[in-house]
Amino acid sequence: MAQETAPQGNGIESLGDLTGRRVLVRSDLNVPLDGSRITDDGRVRASVPTIQGLRDAGARVVVLAHLGRPKGEPDPAYTLAPVAERLGELLGTEVAFATDTVGESARAVVAGLGDGDVAVLENVRFNAGETSKDDAERGAFADELASLVGDDGAFVSDGFGVVHRKQASVYDVAQRLPHAMGGLVAAEVEVLRRLTEDPDRPYVVVLGGSKVSDKLAVIDNLLGKADKLLIGGGMLFTFLVAQGHSVGQSLLEEDQVETCRDYLRRAEETGVEIVLPSDVVVASSFPSGGAAVEASVVPADAIPDDKLGLDIGPDAGRAFAAALKGARTVFWNGPMGVFEVPEFAEGTRAVAQALTECEGLSVVGGGDSAAAVRQLGFEESAFGHISTGGGASLEYLEGKALPGIDVLED
C-alpha cells in the first residue's frame, strides 16, 4: 500500500466565517464525455471535498469550471450540464445549473441559493474574456464573475489543472475577492514540493506518453533531481534511435534524437540512471476501430522494419517494477503503451501495480496516467496521490511559475 499524503491545511479558514456568504469556487471539471455521458468522473469526485467543506461552513457555493476548448462562445457539445448532474449525485443534493456564466440565468440561480446550496455556472470558456490575452478584456469578465457574489463574497481556487493558465476565473478573480486555496490545490502543491525540493531517496521518475517533446523541460529539470528515469510510451523510440537502434515504423521524433543523446550523456555524467525497455510489444499497424491486431514481443534493439512498438514488453515491465520496488519517492506521468487496447496495456499495468506496492510516496501525474489506473481497475486509494493536473504538474516540475498559485500567495 502506498503512503498517503495529506494537505497541510487548505487555507479556507483564512476567509473567516462563511455562513450566508457567496463563494466562487474554481474547480477542474474538465472530464471526458461520450456524447452526454461522462466516461471518467475522477475530476468531479476530486472536487467534492472542498465543495462539501464550504457547504458545511454554511457558504452559498457557486462553481466555475470549463470543459473542452470552445472558441469563446456557447457550444452545446461542451455544456457542463451533465457534470452538474454528476456533482449533485456525488454530493447527495440538488445542484442548480445556470445556462450561462454571467448572464440572466447565472444571476437568478445565484440569487436563489440558500446556505449550503450549490450551483454550477455554464462553461466559463463560452466567454471570450476567460482566455483573452488582453488584460482589460479578461479583467472585465472577472469583474462580472466577482459581481455575482457581492461585496462580502470570496474566491476559492480548487482547480489545480488550470493554475498554470493566466485566465479570468483562475487569476483575475483572485485579484478582486478575498481568496484561498481549496483542499485539492493545497494537496497538489504540497505533493509537488515534496517531489522537487527535498525528495526522499531513492527517487524514481517514470515517464511515458507519446512524445519526447512534451516532456523535454521535465526531463531537463529532473536529470538534476531524480536517481532513476524509466522511459516508456511512444517517447522511448526516440531514445532507442539515439542509442543507434532501428525502431521500424514506431513513433519517432527525428528532431529530438540529438536531444535524447545529450540526455543520455548528461545522465551518465551526473550518475542518474536512465532505464529503457529491453523488449517491446509490436504490431503491423496501429489499433483502430476495434479491429483485431496481432501483437508480438521483440527485443527493443531488434524491432522489425515493418512493425511499430505499442507497449513495453514483459521483461521491461518486470525490470521497471524492480526499479520501483525500493523507491522512497516515485513520480509517474504517461502510460507505457496504448493502454486502451488490452494487448498493449500490460506495461502500464505493471507500472501501476508496482506503484501500489511502493512503501514511499507514489504520485500519479494526472491526465492519461490517472485515466489508465482507473480503467485498469486499480483503487485510487492504493496510490499516495493522483494528480488532477497533468499540464500544471509538469510545468511545476519544469520549475515554471504557476500564475494561479502565485496570485494566491500575496
For 250-268, how does the pLDDT look when each residue is reduced to its tens digit (9 = 90+)?
999 999 999 999 999 999 9
Distance CA 365, CA 292 (A): 31
On whether the CB atoms of residues 163 and 405 are closer than 8 A, the answer is yes
Sequence-distant (≥ 6) Cβ neighbours of residue 211 within 8 angstroms = 234, 235, 251, 253
> Would you list the DSSP string of 138-187?
HHHHHHHHHHTT-TT-EEEE--GGGTTS--IIIIIGGGTS-EEE-HHHHH
Distance CA 157, CA 189 (A): 12
Edge-to-edge strands of the sheet including 296-299? 296-299, 279-283, 308-312
Under DSSP, the state recorded for 4 is: P
Under DSSP, the state recorded for 372 is: H
Query: What is the reported pLDDT for 370?
Result: 84
179 is in an annotated binding site: no
Strand runs (DSSP E) across 166-314, as ranges?
179-181, 203-207, 228-231, 273-275, 279-283, 296-299, 308-312
197 is in an annotated binding site: no
Task: Tell me the catalytic residues.
Answer: 43, 211, 367, 391
Lowest-pLDDT range, 124-138, 214-228, 345-359? 214-228
Q: Rounded mean pLDDT of 361-385?
A: 87
309 is in an annotated binding site: yes
68 is in an annotated binding site: yes
Tell me the per-residue pLDDT of 27-42, one tens digit each, with 9 for 90 and over: 999 999 999 999 989 8
Q: Rounded mean pLDDT of 322-351?
A: 94
Coil, strand, or helix at residue 1? coil
Distance CA 381, CA 3 (A): 10
21 is in an annotated binding site: no
Does residue 7 have a pLDDT over 60?
Answer: no
85 — phi, psi (to 5°)?
Answer: -65, -45
> Would you list the DSSP string of 16-59?
---TT-EEEEE------EETTEES--HHHHHHHHHHHHHHHTT-
Give the Å distances, CA to CA, from 287 to 63, 113, 183, 211: 39, 49, 40, 18
Q: List, in sequence order, every residue forming a beta bridge with 309; answer none if it has no partner.
A: 282
On whether the CB atoms of residues 309 and 303 are closer than 8 A, the answer is yes
Please report, as a single letter, which amino acid is at residue 361.
L
**Percent of the chain, pLDDT > 70?**
97
> How far separated are the first and last CA of the chain, in Å rounded?
38
Query: What is the reported pLDDT for 9?
Result: 37
200 is in an annotated binding site: no
133 is in an annotated binding site: no
HSE-up of 42 (CA within 13 Å, CB side)?
23
69 is in an annotated binding site: yes
Q: Which residue has the cell 525528495?
A: 199
pLDDT band, very low/low/confident/very high, at 400 (cuts 50, 70, 90): confident
Sequence-distant (≥ 6) Cβ neighbours of residue 351 within 8 angstroms = 206, 208, 230, 232, 317, 320, 321, 324, 332, 336
Tell me the per-residue pLDDT of 62-99, one tens digit each, with 9 for 90 and over: 999 999 999 999 999 999 999 999 999 999 999 999 99
